[in-house]
Amino acid sequence: MFLKTSYFSSFILLHGHQQKQLEIKLEAKNDNLFANSCEECKMPIKCDSKDLAYKGRHWHEACFKCAKCNHSLVEKPFAVKDELLLCTECYSNMYSSKCFHCKKTIMPGSRKMEFKGSSWHETCFVCQYCRQPLGTKPLITQDNENYCVPCFEKQFAHHCYSCKKVITTGGVTFNDQPWHKECFLCAGCKQQLSGQRFISKGEYPYCLDCFSNLYAKKCSACNNAITALGDAQFISFEDRQWHSECFNCVKCSISLVGQGFLTQQDDILCRECGSAM
């Protein structure tokens, strides 16, 4: 009886010990079975550890860090590129646009200006002359530098000799000076001379009619103005002038250009006609 009782007591103790071991093993097995695997170290994230999740993926708190600089991303903004976690600074340095002017990264959230396929910090996109931000204002590029319109006009644009204002398009050059087309006028009748034939007298341009009326010599034969346009030639004798085509014998109309001639009062004659008179 004593032995039996002793045996029974011993069995309960053993049974109790086995039951305890079984519970421990079962608890450990269940912990591994239901735990999420860490994306970084591939180990289970146990109940006594924080499980940080993002889009169905899980990390230990200590493993949730930037793939580039290894700084912790816990409670910090981050980005994902090709399934890698990156802090905003590393992501920007690796993938964000670089400023055309200062070559530094344009950080996410900061204002970025785009011009001719290049990116700029808003504070770097300025007029080369006055250094004021260009923003969305009109600008002009000269030698790969950007200028606001007023500064460009002050530095580079031609100013009309007549009105002194900037010539933005087209223009006419006269006496080595730039003019607006609409300002380049006949000094006599004020009609526009752009695209027209004209003659200059001193600093002033004249249309053919005004120049002829005001300054041109008159042909002694036809009484029309003698101009120096093109290859026009004229004959001068004493105080009189003739168009070369008008310098003819008054009797037989033969040209006297390069020939000997005679005069009778205001008339010019070839030698033959002059001798016959």
pLDDT value, residue 231? 61
- Do 236 and 210 lie in one domain? The reply is no
Contact by Cβ (8 Å): 81, 68: no
d(CA 67, CA 257): 98
Grade residue 202 by pLDDT with cuts at 50, 70 and 90. Answer: confident
SS3 11: helix
- Do 206 and 238 lie in one domain? The reply is no
Q: Is the pLDDT of residue 16 over 90?
A: no
pLDDT value, residue 33? 66
pLDDT value, residue 10? 26
**Residue at 144 is within a domain:** no
Could you give phi then psi for residue 16, rounded to 5 degrees?
-65, -35
Number of separate domains in the chain: 2
pLDDT value, residue 32? 62
pLDDT value, residue 60? 92
- Do 170 and 205 lie in one domain? The reply is yes
Q: Which residues lie below 8 Å from residue 62, measured CB to CB, with a gap of 6+?
A: 72
DSSP state of 204: E
Q: Is the pLDDT of residue 2 over 50?
A: no
**Residue at 261 is within a domain:** yes
pLDDT, tens digit, for every residue of 133-190?
Answer: 998 888 888 888 899 988 988 888 888 999 988 887 788 989 889 999 999 999 999 9
In the predicted model, what is the mean pLDDT of the chain?
Answer: 81
Question: How many C-beta atoms surround the C-beta of residue 89 within 10 A?
Answer: 15
Q: Residue 270's domain is classified under what CATH number?
A: 2.10.110.10
pTM of the predicted model as reported, rounded to 2 decimal places:
0.40
d(CA 262, CA 78): 108
Contact by Cβ (8 Å): 44, 37: yes
Domain that holds residue 238: 232-276
